[in-house]
Chain A
């Protein structure tokens, strides 16, 4: 096997807070990314995802641990690291005094593209991301979604080998989400671009990721392919039921059934039921609902979604430490 493109070993970041106390934002994490893979880094707000990205992209100094890109320690060779990296930051850090076109061209020039090559690619990307009409407009006049599109175009302008997307689709309408993924997947397929994604939209990693890390309070709780992660939840297939209102007697009745392993109440109307068996589950579950004075609005059987895996893993933090891929 070839050397991984990105290797992270025992990475830690401790922030000093305003009151003098310490906050461990990233707590001794290790993982690696192979060239060409799409890696999703999922975690609740404040888990330390952006902090991790900032350290890998040479913007923030780790408290301890090592990061290697293409086998070279980024601390001793940050320039080589930056040459390979493209970043879509979580916030708008576009150059406000420049036009959309200039933002892209200058970025390309910083990365050694000739003016001609940079201008040509800038025009292509502006067209792809629906910004041609605003080519000569200053980005201070851009809407949130427009700025987000331009940030994405800028990050892929120099065709990076390792692309960091920190919640790239937040604020994007569905059509531009597709365009973003279209571009990212094309870079990934044609140039083996490796992608490091953080997102709160679970369907994106579900569709595109090779590996997923579930990350919480500075620690990786689970890491693997989605089928591997599915093994962490009590059942591979789950019954999703929606009723007019979940009642205590209903939960009690369900809990007494020998073929049900666990019940997760998602909200006042929705239940996820983890069965023990894969046989005839719906046929066994349906009568229970019929006996109860509740109105069943919807019921379906499906594989555990990433959403369920995520909820399950983050709610059972100590039980699992799977390092299928570490």
Chain B
């Protein structure tokens, strides 16, 4: 038997997770698509069409939808299986028993969460084109595309790290409470329906929402996708994403280690 390298085992674990996800692909698509679908339908189509929102609103909404879908899918994709694995089925024990550092299992879980978050972000595209295609005025250049990919990469990592933290804290019976108690506040304070700079009129709220990583993700996406516009300066949003990624990553890893070796 050859000595197993961590990287090999990492890929085998990723393959396992993807296989299980693939077997539930219909449920996955449904879960990932429904939220952006209903929000885009309402805020990107119905409300602008009946004049409740200005016709330019869908264009501002689009980056926020991408950011939201990416973050929520990544958190969900990492946290829920992790919580079940550790608390209910304990099926993660077999992987933790592999002759590699226990953190390999955590990295594999996060990597799969990142892949899911990219799929989540991608699925927003067709929905947006269908319902608000005419209103979109994206401003993408070659330089922008690379920046955009970098932001998406960093953001998906942040979402998987947050998922790792949440998944090692939340118990399966609390997952139902996670949506109203955690994800909804993240969505509605996450600079999806407004840009952060527009909050100057509510200074307290403007400061408060800075604890939400989605604010930085969406502001960075808005900046790159729509041109400078009224978004937060790119350096700030990038620093925000980076800081959150590191913080969540460190806390999540620490929690994971505690759960893995009790």
* A contacts, CB < 8 Å to B: 54, 57-61, 78-80, 82-83, 85, 87, 89, 91, 93-98, 102-103, 106-107, 109-113, 154, 158-159
Contacts and interface: CB of A to CB of B under 8 A. Distances in A.
Contacts of A106: 12, 16, 94
Contacts, number: 78
Interface in B79-93: 89-91, 93
B153 to A, nearest CB: 28
A60 B261 contact: yes
A158 B99 CA distance: 11
A78 B16 CA distance: 23
B2 interface: yes
A95 B97 CA distance: 13
8 contacts: A82-B99, A98-B16, A107-B94, A110-B9, A110-B12, A111-B99, A112-B99, A159-B1
Contacts of A57: 97
A98 B20 contact: yes
A149 B12 CA distance: 24
B125 to A, nearest CB: 29
B101 A112 contact: no
Given A80-B99, A97-B19, A112-B8, 18 more contacts: A58-B261, A59-B93, A59-B261, A78-B261, A82-B98, A85-B97, A89-B90, A91-B90, A95-B16, A97-B23, A107-B94, A109-B9, A110-B4, A110-B94, A110-B98, A112-B4, A112-B99, A154-B94
A94 B16 CA distance: 13
Contacts of A82: 97-99
A93 to B, nearest CB: 4
Nearest to B260: A59
A131 B168 CA distance: 34
Contact of B93 (A80, A93, A96): A93
Given A82-B98, A93-B89, A93-B94, A112 B261 contact: no
A83 to B, nearest CB: 4
Given A60-B262, A91-B90, A96-B91, A112 B97 contact: no
Nearest to A159: B1
A326 to B, nearest CB: 27
B261 A61 contact: yes
A interface, by DSSP: helix, strand, loop or mixed?
Answer: loop
A87 B20 contact: no
B89 A61 contact: no
Interface residues of B, number: 26
Nearest to A84: B99
A158 B4 CA distance: 12
A96 B16 CA distance: 12
A161 to B, nearest CB: 11
Which among A80, A95, A113 has the highest number of chain B CB atoms within 10 Å?
A95
A86 to B, nearest CB: 9
Interface of B: 1-4, 8-9, 12-13, 16, 19-20, 23, 89-91, 93-101, 261-262
A79 B23 contact: no
Which among A61, A93, A94 has the highest number of chain B CB atoms within 10 Å?
A93
Contacts of A98: 16, 19-20
Contacts of A78: 261
A228 to B, nearest CB: 34
A110 B262 CA distance: 21
A110 B95 contact: yes
Given A93-B91, A96-B89, A113 B1 contact: yes
B89 to A, nearest CB: 6
Contacts of B19: 97-98, 102
B101 A94 contact: no
B4 A111 contact: yes
Contacts of B97: 57-59, 82, 85, 87, 110
B96 A59 contact: yes
Contacts of B91: 93-97
Contacts of A58: 97, 261
Contact of A59 (B4, B9, B101, B262): B262
Contacts of A85: 97
Contacts of B16: 95, 98, 106
Nearest to A158: B1
Nearest to B90: A93
A216 B8 CA distance: 43
Contacts of A159: 1
Nearest to A138: B23
Contacts of A83: 99
Contacts of B1: 111-113, 158-159
Nearest to A106: B16
Contacts of A60: 261-262
Closest 5 CB pairs of A and B: A112-B4, A110-B98, A83-B99, A97-B20, A93-B90
